[in-house]
Structure 1
Amino acid sequence: MLFLHGFPDFWFAWRHQIKEFSRRYRTVAIDLKGFGDSDKPTEITAYLTSKIREDISNLVRALNYKSCILVAHDFGGTVAYHVATKFPELVDKLIILNSPHPAAFLEAVKTRKSQKAKSWYMVLFQVHYLPDILLRVFDYEFLRCMCGGRLGSAVTDDEIQAYRYMYSKHGFSKQLNLYKAALSYRKFCDTVSTEIDIPSLIIWGAGDSFLDTELAEMNRKYLPKMKIKILDEAGHWPHIDKADEVNTAIQDFLDENY
């Protein structure tokens, strides 16, 4: 099982899933390019999803596997959609948490005022240095709201300190290059407008402050073998907010025969 985190996370976001699924699978949670302790190239083009999907493809093969169960959240989901489209043979099953198919997201931004309003932060992320400065000024307290679960109670103080340590060490500027590359080079949905004919599970926290819940169903246009699990008491980070429910949904999905 290969886990791809989103923004502003690193591998640690999957701690509850690693503990659960390592009993049955080889679990690998990586830091995406620009995040955590991974390489942080300076050029924006290095962060194009077309480049990162190649990284994932090479990683699976470097681990001596022909395929994997791919689990992803947020921007990691965007990468996962690219991997599943370009290298379908690498993905046995696709599990996505609160991340719309790129083409579905663009459609939602164009047609849904609510989603367009919720996507304001992507514009902020285009301003050079400003996001990183703001985050440091507020001493990374936003992490308690963002990574601390919907109500801030799903994460312990020690876990928040792990996030604080990682981002005070590396900052955020290189991570934001994911958004800059996607918007500046208009490659957000490059080559991923076709159907992904892979058994897929969409897990969606209905309390997401950044994405409309309707986006989960909009994914069906691109994922014909999709199942959906909506968690009403979870936010953008369901794997943290409701870890036990997410783990159960994933295991049930993996136990099904296709």
Structure 2
Amino acid sequence: MIDLERRRIPLPTGVTLDVTLGGPEDGAALIFLHGFPESARTWRHQMTELARDHFVVAPDQRGFAGSSKPEAVDAYHTAQPIADLLALADTLGIDRFTLVGHDWGGAVAWAAALARPDRIARLVILNAPHPLIFQRTLIDDPAQRAASQYIRAFRDPGMEAAITAMGLGTFFDTSFRNHADLTRIAAEDRAAYLAEWGQPGALTGMLNWYRAAAVVVPAPDETVERPAFIDAPFPPVTVPTLVVWGTRDAALLPCQLEGLDGLVDDLTLVRVDAGHFLTWEAPEPVNRAIRAFLSARPAA
């Protein structure tokens, strides 16, 4: 078993992140970005496996767990976590790295790969939609629009009070019940997440990711103006990319994979029989897919 350590790392972006890391520091670097409502803990099975021969780094992103929680919504625009990512890499002396992202971490990873291919050698995405496909399907696909109404709810300014009223334990169960096998969540992991969510400012920090996002989520029967970019040419992702997709995801439907090969120059797609939280629900096939991709697409 590879021992992982925790460090608290201040960044020039103005936040301090709790970071899990391990493995040989001279090994090829993998940086992992988690999503909502988790933390670096979601990568526990991947990090212990890949740290055998890689330098693995997983921050608790801004707004989550014990990391800094800026109050302003605009502190969570995508450019801010991208800046955190690059500042963290710089602080650790990492030039080019493989970027791995799930959920909101995947959204940051897509955007970072488009903006900074000079820093990102390879991209691994787990159940996080490509920004063009996601916005297009929210407009054009009634099923995806219906499945995404939770985003509108999370943007409501009264959501923190509603979660507090129901209790964090109930919120935990409702958050995961329809998206993962609750029997796969160890009691210690559940306790850890509840402790993270209970920290001052944590609920607002996590929800601000939704409030800051530019994505337009119409109500089910609403007619909205089409964002111009979804019908215009879109730049391709140029770095080798692996997408691992849990096919039982109830929030992100199979339409998120349609047309993806036209937006990524070098795409490997692996489907896994799992829900949205496949990192811990199906760790073995996820790890195999990542291992095979890293072997087939060695970093320059």
TM-score (norm 1): 0.91
C-alpha displacement of 1:46: 1.2
Amino acid aligned to 2:160: D
- Alpha-carbon contact 2:135-2:215 (below 8 Å) kept: no
Structure 1's unaligned 5+ residue stretches are: none
> What residue is the counterpart of 2:64 in the other structure?
35
CA distance in 2, matches of 1:74, 1:246: 15
1:179 to 189, 210, 229: 210
C-alpha change, 1:207 and 1:184, in structure 2 (3 Å) is closer
* CA apart distance, 1:99: 0.3
1:1-258 to structure 2, matched below 5 A, reads 1-128=30-157, 130-140=158-168, 141-144=170-173, 146-147=175-176, 150-170=180-200, 171-183=202-214, 193-232=234-273, 234-257=274-297
Tell me the distance in 2 between the aligned counterparts of 1:249 and 1:184: 29
> Number of matched residues?
254
Q: Percent identity?
A: 29
Deviation at 1:150, TM superposition (A): 1.8
Q: Quick one: which amino acid aligns to residue 132 of structure 1?
A: E
Change (3 A) 1:15 1:146: farther
More displaced 10-residue stretch of structure 1: 116-125 or 162-171: 162-171
Structure 2 residue ranges without an equivalent (≥5): 1-29, 218-226
C-alpha separation between the residues in 1 aligned to 2:171 and 2:234? 34
Structure 1 SS opposite 2:100? strand
Separation in 1, partners of 2:285, 2:34:
18
Q: 1:5 to 1:62 in 2, by over 3 A?
A: same
Alignment check: 8 A CA contact 1:202 1:216 kept: no
| Contact 1:69 1:92 (C-alpha < 8 Å) held by counterparts | yes
| Range with greater deviation from structure 2 (216-225 or 5-14) | 216-225
